[in-house]
Structure 1
Amino acid sequence: MATSSLGSDDLKSRFAAAALALQEPPKVRSRVRVRNRVNNIFFHDARGEVVNFLFSTLRQHEVPIWEAYHSAYDFAEEYKDELHSAKIAFNEDCESFSWSDWYTLLTNCAMKFLHNYTVNEHEFPPKPVDWDKFCFSTFEHRNSKPTMEDRKLVLPKFSVIEPGVENTYQDASLFGVFDGHGGVECADYCIAHFPECLINVQSSTASVDDLLPNAFNAIDKRINHFCTSESLSGGTTASVALIHDNVVHYAWIGDSGIGLLKGKQIIQLSTHHNLSNIKEEERVKAAGSEILFIYGEKRVDGVLNITRALGHPGAKASIISEPDVGKFEIGPDDFILFIASDGIWDVASKDEMLADIVSFVKSNPSSDFSDLAKAIGTPVRKHSIDNCMLLVVFLKPVEEVWKHCSML
């Protein structure tokens, strides 16, 4: 089994830095992504929020993904009585408790946990086998927007999620982009709870082809319950890819999208669920919505320019949460998977993206692969005002991708 690229002392120093950062006043410390504008938290949500909080805290200090998740689940188990973070099934009749009081307790418990990791002997887990089978690169930028509402999910090995729970797809890889609107709460909720939904639906899902649609349905039920309880009217797009047995299964809702470098060209695998899609416009009209022009842009009932989303419980007649899906077996000409928010796709020229890839590959060694998304995203974002999120997933060994692209 492969070992971590960081030594035990290096990891301990990063845990110590994370603990110290949590002691800073909220306006001073680096922002950990937690839900805001929320009054209460349900018992069935506590575990996912605990795991996501510690995971995000550790990732801000560059703790490897597998170690950050391993520690986050250890934390949830160790403090399950104090933080109510035992595994509890989703239940619409579940009780809730104060978010603000709980968040203060969560922060204090996290500081204790991280301190103990630092001062006590601890055996850090090795990197999971085949972790680097599908290497990745990421780019994100708030751009001209006041807040960043795009979120990403990067799981090269699904086995790091709920390690003590039976998981048929533990060797699968999961990548996703969620673009929140009307607030970031729904996108944050997906990051914290979508992996759990994917595990929970396995027992009732006969085919891997139905896994992502069933998980989308499960997370949407939870988001609708959450939004209704908290009087939130927002939602989020979702574009997700699950790689299992050399097959890429993908699903999407909204105008985040998925593309593929196949041979010598980038092709779009997804179609936008927005009012530029004539079929979608006809569907929302048939559902009883009006299409109004707001500042020269089409909007569903004068509000949204997308026609499908997770959330928006009060607008489900028109803004549906049914994903479109697709799949393909990774063939000899399939090199890079792209998952991005509309801040990228709305302004990106596929020819220019490909030219940027080729230029970067020819100017940099393959060891710099983690900077490829930045090389693609930086010139694109200059033509956009929206949040930008881009995941680049290598479907072949990096050296093979470099060889192919250098000859384009």
Structure 2
Amino acid sequence: MPVHASGQESLGEAEEHKDDKTSFLSRKFAGFLRRSSAVNAVRPDDQNVIIPANSIQARIADRRRSSPARIITAVDEEIVFGVKNYAANSSNAARAVNEDRYRIISSLELYGKALVTSDKRVQSYQDALDKQLLECYANEGNVPKMDLKKLAKYQSGTNTEFFGIFDGHGGDHCSSFLALLFPLYLLLTPDFHENMPAAATKACTAINTEILKREEAKQRGGGSTGLVVMIRDGIAYVCNVGDCRAILISKSGVSALSTDHKATNESEKQRIEDAGGMVLYVKGVARVNGRLAVSRAFGDAEHHEYVIAEPEITTHSLSPCDEYIVLASDGLWDVLSNEDVMATIRNHPWLSIDEITQVLIDRAMELGTMDNVTVVIIDVRKR
């Protein structure tokens, strides 16, 4: 089977340099395999090789160079307490702005501990929520950094990884709110440690109630779909509201871990009609009350009786045969099938999963996607 560079890297420079060496060798071998002078896939710090300006590697390198120095704060979109085993990429693609948001936290337990130890004003998760701590951080920009050495002593046997994609519509305020606060709402639920499906369901209900309250107060609409994958003790919990999708790629093939909540879905159509709504086709697209193509979403106060934020929760016990979990917004799935995504990964064994995310985005754009595209690939081979 093809073996990809997993994208695993620690926060230390030594590990990152080691990864660069490994990636350099794999890319040089790739160039030999493809016998093409157009591909000299190496890291930008190799001064002896020229990288074509429009290559995937060049764009990945540009994205890395534009990233700030690695200081972890409570509002970062990626928070890694140790080893990185995923890749994430987001593009506005065919649209003028990107309303997609994603959030990745390698340990919700450590993240929660950091929230209540890095700021003296906060004594609990509820306190952080009531004081709108994260929103103040995000708006003011004065965010205390997390003390990784101090947090290390809180490391316990239980560790919950969090991967979320939130696809906004009618603006990015809802998707941004979800990305920022969904992890905190999860931690607040009393079921978090014992019953993850129940915790995810309660978190969705609570955060949607807050979103609707704010939409009413500010008299604005808009909403967002949400897809969250949490991994704990070898089990992947998938929480989906809307038409983002998660798939599992294993040695035996590919399978869906979530169901698209669209107005074309017969069971969703029946639910909407039973609630007094209707599904109308507008320019060939099925829409709830002629407006929204998604049948479940956060926010959307005008349609909240029909477009609900009730999540669909699925679980999967990871096995040695499993390789990758891929999450993506509908901008990818509108033009690529589950099998297409698997084939893309299989057909590029010389690329890291970080580069594969760029390949998938490029392919979606080539095929004419009309939406933003966000892709997260989780390497689950060594779990």
SS at match of 1:305: coil
Give distance in 1, aligned partners of 2:191 and 2:274: 36
Deviation sequence 1:13-37 (CA, Å, 0-9, x none):
xxxxxxxxxxxxxxxxxxxxxxxxx
**Consecutive unaligned residues in structure 2, runs of 5 or more:** 1-8, 15-63, 117-123, 126-155
Alpha carbons of 1:3 and 1:382: their partners in 2 closer, same or farther (altered >3 Å)?
Answer: closer
Q: 1:147 aligns with which of 97, 103, 111?
A: 97
Give distance in 2, aligned partners of 1:256 and 1:194: 16
Residue in 1 aligned with 2:324? 336
Query: Normalized per residue, which structure has more helix?
Result: 1
What TM-score, normalized by structure 2, do the two folds share? 0.68
SS at match of 1:248: strand
- Asked if 1 retains the 8 angstrom alpha-carbon contact of 2:191 and 2:199, the reply is no
Deviation sequence 1:300-347 (CA, Å, 0-9, x none):
111101111111123221111100001111111111011111111121
Give distance in 2, aligned partners of 1:353 and 1:209: 27
Residue in 1 aligned with 2:88? 138
Deviation sequence 1:283-311 (CA, Å, 0-9, x none):
11111112222222221111101111111
**Consecutive unaligned residues in structure 1, runs of 5 or more:** 8-57, 74-125, 401-408
What residue identity is the alignment partner of 2:114? P
Moved over 6 A (4+): 166-170
Residue in 2 aligned with 1:243? 231
1:180 positional shift = 0.4
SS at match of 1:194: helix
Q: How does 1:187-266 map to 2 (within 5 A)?
A: 187-202=175-190, 206-266=194-254
Deviation sequence 1:214-248 (CA, Å, 0-9, x none):
11112111111111111111110000011111111
Give distance in 1, aligned partners of 2:191 and 2:263: 36
Residue in 2 aligned with 1:177? 165
Residue in 2 aligned with 1:4? 11
Alpha carbons of 1:141 and 1:204: their partners in 2 closer, same or farther (altered >3 Å)?
Answer: closer
- Asked if 1 retains the 8 angstrom alpha-carbon contact of 2:191 and 2:198, the reply is no
Give distance in 1, aligned partners of 2:340 and 2:192: 44
- Asked if 1 retains the 8 angstrom alpha-carbon contact of 2:94 and 2:365, the reply is no
Q: 1:382 aligns with which of 366, 373, 378?
A: 366
1:203 positional shift = 6.2
Give distance in 1, aligned partners of 2:311 and 2:333: 18
SS at match of 1:212: helix
What count of residue pairs does the alignment treat as equivalent? 285
Give distance in 2, aligned partners of 1:284 and 1:301: 9
Alpha carbons of 1:256 and 1:204: their partners in 2 closer, same or farther (altered >3 Å)?
Answer: closer
Give distance in 2, aligned partners of 1:357 and 1:258: 15
1:391 positional shift = 0.5
1:278 positional shift = 0.5
Alpha carbons of 1:169 and 1:287: their partners in 2 closer, same or farther (altered >3 Å)?
Answer: farther
What TM-score, normalized by structure 1, do the two folds share? 0.64
What residue identity is the alignment partner of 1:299? R
- Asked if 2 retains the 8 angstrom alpha-carbon contact of 1:212 and 1:250, the reply is no
Residue in 1 aligned with 2:81? 128
Give distance in 2, aligned partners of 1:169 and 1:232: 44
Cα RMSD after superposing both structures: 2.8
Alpha carbons of 1:164 and 1:343: their partners in 2 closer, same or farther (altered >3 Å)?
Answer: closer
Deviation sequence 1:342-373 (CA, Å, 0-9, x none):
11112112332222212221x34xxx332221
Residue in 2 aligned with 1:309? 297
**Percent of residue pairs identical:** 23
2:114 maps to 1:163: yes
2:271 maps to 1:283: yes
- Asked if 1 retains the 8 angstrom alpha-carbon contact of 2:80 and 2:105, the reply is no
1:198 positional shift = 1.2
Give distance in 2, aligned partners of 1:156 and 1:299: 36
Q: How does 1:319-358 map to 2 (within 5 A)?
A: 319-358=307-346
Alpha carbons of 1:301 and 1:59: their partners in 2 closer, same or farther (altered >3 Å)?
Answer: farther
Residue in 2 aligned with 1:62? 68
- Asked if 2 retains the 8 angstrom alpha-carbon contact of 1:69 and 1:160, the reply is no
Give distance in 2, aligned partners of 1:178 and 1:305: 16
Give distance in 2, aligned partners of 1:270 and 1:250: 7
Alpha carbons of 1:249 and 1:188: their partners in 2 closer, same or farther (altered >3 Å)?
Answer: same
Q: How does 1:28-107 map to 2 (within 5 A)?
A: 61-64=67-70, 67-69=71-73
SS at match of 1:213: helix
SS at match of 1:202: coil
Higher relative contact order (CA 8 A, sep 6+): 2
1:376 positional shift = 2.6
SS at match of 2:237: strand
Give distance in 2, aligned partners of 1:148 and 1:127: 24
What residue identity is the alignment partner of 1:327? T
Residue in 2 aligned with 1:371? 355
Residue in 2 aligned with 1:274? 262
SS at match of 1:143: coil
